[in-house]
Amino acid sequence: MEWKNRADAVIIGGGIIGASTAYYLAKNGMKNIVLLEKDTICGGSTGRCGAGIRAQWGTEMNCRLGVAALDIFEQLDQELGMDIGLNQGGYLLVAYTPEEVETLRRGMVLQNSLGIESRMVTLSEARKICPGLAADDALAFFFHARDGHADPFLTTFAYMEAAKRLGVRCFRHTACTGILVEDNTVRGVLTDKGEILAPLVINCAGAYAQFIAKMAGIDLPNWGERHEIMITEPVAPGVCPCMLMSFSGNYYIQQRPHGSIICGMSPEGHPEDYEMKTTWQFIEAMSAILARLLPRTRGIRIARHWSGMYDMTPDAQPIIGETDVKNFYHSTGYSGHGFMLAPVAGKILAQHLTGQRPDIDFSMLDYRRFARGEHIRESNVV
C-alpha cells in the first residue's frame, strides 16, 4: 500500500480497540484515517483472549457499557457483513462466601434497574444451564442469558475489513516510534517507515499504551500483566455451554461450540510481567479447578496453552479520552474486559471525536482520575 505522510487521524494499535475505533470514526464520516500495527492484526491481547462478553457488572458505568456492547454484538454480523462467531450461552457467576453472595446480589439489583435481566439461580437450575457442573461447595449462582462469547479474530477482522471498505488505510508491521508534539498539541507520529503528520492521534496500543504515551511526555499508570489460558481437545458438547466464572474462585471456563473447553485464571499477586511465557504451575492449578468443577473433564487432554497481557490500570478500568497533550487521545487500560467493551468503546469515542453526543458519557474514564484519587471500584473482575 502506498505510504502517505499526511492523515486526518492516526490510530496506533491493530487490536479490537483500534479496529473498532477506526471503523466507527470512518462510519461517522472521518476521512483519511491511518491505523498502524507493529506486528499483525490481532497479534496482541485480542488474539490471545477468552473473548467472553457480559453485562453482569458491579458498577453502573460498566453495566451501561456492557449492555450497550451486547446490543451492538447482537447485530454486528449484519452491520459488518462478516460472521463474528457470536454465541450467547450466558454467564453463570459462582459465589463461594456470604460476602460474595451479597456483592453479586447487589450487582444483580443494579443490573436489573438498568434493564439487564440477570437473576439468581438455584444449584439445580445452574446444573440445567451447565450440565457438567459439580459446585456443591458454592453458596449461590447468578445468570444472565444474553452474555456469551464471540470469536476475537473474526470480530477484529470484521471491524478491520469494514473500516478498510470505508477508506481506512492499515499499515501492518509498522511501529510507532515517536509522537510529534508542538505547542502542547499533537502534530503526528514517527514510525519505522517514516513520519505521518496528523491533527489527531489515538493510542490504542493495549499493554504497550504507556510506552506510546511516554513518547509525548504523558505518564499513564498502566502496566502489562501476563495471564495464562488453555484450551482442551474437543469433548462432547453440553459440558459447560455457558461461561462459568467466579471472582473469589479465580476462574473462567467455557466450552466452545465445537467442544473444546477454554479456561483461565489470574496470576497470584497480579505482577507486572511482559514475558509471554507459560508455566506448569498454571496447568496444574487450572486442571485441578476443571476436574473439581466439571468432573466429566477428568482425563481429557490439553490441546494448547498460551499467555497474553491484561492492560492494567490501578482500578482495572479503562482510560478513554484526551490527555494533557491536545488531540492526543487514549483508549486503553481495558484489563480483562477490552474485547467485550470494544464495540461500545470505539463507538462512543468516535461519536465524541466527530462532534456527536456520545451514547454514554465517558468523562469519568479520564486518566486524571488516578491523580485525583477517584478510583472506580469494580468487584466483578477476574
Ligand X SMILES: Cc1cc2nc3c(=O)[nH]c(=O)nc-3n(C[C@H](O)[C@H](O)[C@H](O)COP(=O)(O)OP(=O)(O)OC[C@H]3O[C@@H](n4cnc5c(N)ncnc54)[C@H](O)[C@@H]3O)c2cc1C
Of 64, 144, 187, 227, which lies in the binding site for ligand X, with binding defined by CB under 6 A? 227
Q: Choose the binding region for ligand X from 100-108, 309-317, 322-330, 362-370 (rule: CB under 6 A).
A: 309-317
Which among 142, 24, 63 is positioned nearest to 317, based on CA atoms?
A: 63
Let me know: does 222 contact 206? Beta carbons within 8 Å: no
Q: Report in angstroms how near the CB of residue 292 gets to ligand X at its nearest.
A: 21
Q: What is the dihedral sign for C-alpha 246, 58, 154, 6?
A: negative
Q: Report in angstroms how near the CB of residue 216 gets to ligand X at its nearest.
A: 13
Contact between 201 and ligand X per CB under 6 A: no
**Interface of this chain with ligand X, residues 314 to 373, rule: CB under 6 A:** 332, 334, 336-340
Contact between 224 and ligand X per CB under 6 A: no
Q: In the numeric block, which cell numbers belong to residue 84?
A: 463474528
Of 11, 22, 30, 52, which lies in the binding site for ligand X, with binding defined by CB under 6 A? 52
Let me know: does 16 contact 338? Beta carbons within 8 Å: yes
The CA distance from 94 to 141, in Å, is 5
Provide the 8-state DSSP code for 44.
Answer: S
Report in angstroms the alpha-carbon separations of 313 from 56, 211, 224, 225, 316: 20, 14, 9, 10, 5
The CA distance from 123 to 145, in Å, is 16
Q: Report in angstroms how near the CB of residue 342 gets to ligand X at its nearest.
A: 7
Task: Pick the closer one to ligand X by CB: 38 or 102.
Answer: 38
Q: Choose the binding region for ligand X from 42-50, 79-87, 113-121, 320-328 (rule: CB under 6 A).
A: 42-50
Q: Choose the binding region for ligand X from 83-91, 132-140, 202-210, 276-284 (rule: CB under 6 A).
A: 202-210
3-state DSSP assignment of residue 52: strand
SS3 percent helix, strand, coil of the chain, rounded to 5, is: 30, 25, 45
Q: What is the dihedral sign for C-alpha 233, 236, 240, 243?
A: positive
Q: Choose the binding region for ligand X from 6-14, 267-275, 322-330, 348-356 (rule: CB under 6 A).
A: 6-14
Which among 227, 299, 300 is positioned nearest to 50, based on CA atoms?
A: 227
User: 338-353 and 16-27 helices cross at what angle (nearest 10)?
Assistant: 30
Determine the size of the site formed for ligand X (CB under 6 A).
42
By rule CB under 6 A, what string of x and - marks binding of each residue 137-176 to ligand X?
--------------------------------------xx
Q: Choose the binding region for ligand X from 41-49, 79-87, 100-108, 361-369 (rule: CB under 6 A).
A: 41-49
Of 90, 107, 224, 264, which lies in the binding site for ligand X, with binding defined by CB under 6 A? 264
Task: Pick the closer one to ligand X by CB: 43 or 199.
Answer: 43
Of 7, 10, 11, 18, which lies in the binding site for ligand X, with binding defined by CB under 6 A? 18
Q: Report in angstroms how near the CB of residue 98 gets to ligand X at its nearest.
A: 27
Q: Report in angstroms how near the CB of residue 217 gets to ligand X at its nearest.
A: 16
Q: Report in angstroms how near the CB of residue 18 gets to ligand X at its nearest.
A: 5
Of 7, 14, 317, 351, which lies in the binding site for ligand X, with binding defined by CB under 6 A? 14
Contact between 12 and ligand X per CB under 6 A: yes
* Degrees to nearest 5, angle at CA 201 with 369 and 331: 40
3-state secondary structure 215-234: HCCCCCCCEEEEEEEEEECC
Task: Pick the closer one to ligand X by CB: 126 or 319.
Answer: 319
Which among 147, 150, 144, 146 is positioned nearest to 20, based on CA atoms?
A: 150
**Interface contacts to ligand X, rule CB under 6 A:** 12-18, 36-39, 43-46, 48-52, 175-176, 204-208, 212, 227, 229, 264, 308-311, 332, 334, 336-340
